[in-house]
Amino acid sequence: MSQDARTHRDEQDRDDPPRGGEPSRALLVVDVQPTFCEGGALGVEGGHAVAQAIAAFADATRGSYDLLVTTQDWHIDPGGHFAVPPAEPDYVDTWPPHGLAGTQEAELHPALADLAADVAVKKGAYAAAYSGFEGVDAQGRELVEILHEAGITAVDVVGIAESHCVRATALDALAAGLSTRVLLDLTVPVTPEQGATARREMAAAGADLLLSTDL
């Protein structure tokens, strides 16, 4: 952590009331974008409802988090990530165009208009990117650096889709040594089967899987 970041954190610690010894925790809102909701290029059933639920949860619990981060697919020219006609997407390694930088579909979902995130991370500009940890903010900082500089030691992960980018983000958070919770009622998979597989993988890696109402 830089000296400036350390000084800023020390000032925050003096100003903020103690939180009973709880870890410094961030809420990671992963890819809640129209492109991944019903009617979008890669719409997931239940996406709009999850976006609304995340907005309500964040509004009610904002004071419980030391940092709120959003991630977005923000594709400019991701190469082989997109299937170019006449090639057909296999929906494993190749996909229809989605999350195109600068389009309305790539913006945050309208339900999050009042979210007031501390940090916005964008990923996948020139290559496939699933995990939020593959993205950078406007200053070019990677997510792991952002969390480290803020003194974050624990994260709650929500967003779309559970089976893909939420899963990848949670696994990378664990790999970075962060205590990781996935709030299952604030995410939705592409299919139930893929969701079940993702939950097994995240749990096996050490993630806590729970409902937001359990907090």
Q: Are 101 and 75 in contact (CB under 8 A)?
A: yes
Task: Select which of 66, 156, 165, 172 is catalytic.
Answer: 165
Annotation says 37 is catalytic: no
The whole-angstrom separation of Cα 209 and Cα 197 is: 13
Catalytic status, residue 122? no
Catalytic residue among 31, 73, 156, 172, which? 31
Smallest Cα–Cα separation from 37: which of 52, 59, 56? 52
Give residue 20's pLDDT. 53
Q: What is the largest CA-CA distance in the chain?
A: 60
CA gap 6, 110 in Å, rounded: 35
Q: pLDDT tens digits for the chain (215 residues)?
A: 333 333 333 444 433 433 556 899 999 999 999 999 999 999 999 999 999 999 999 999 999 999 999 999 999 999 999 998 888 999 999 999 999 999 999 999 999 999 999 999 999 999 999 999 999 999 999 999 999 999 999 999 999 999 999 999 999 999 999 999 999 999 999 999 999 999 999 999 999 999 999 99
> Phi, psi (5° rounding) for residue 123?
-140, 160
User: Any idea which architecture 26-176+186-206 has in CATH?
Assistant: 3-Layer(aba) Sandwich (3.40)
Assess whether 165 carries a catalytic annotation.
yes
Catalytic one among 37, 66, 73, 123? 123
Residue-level pLDDT at 183: 98
3 sits in which H/E element? helix 3-15
* 153 touches 65 (CB < 8 A): no
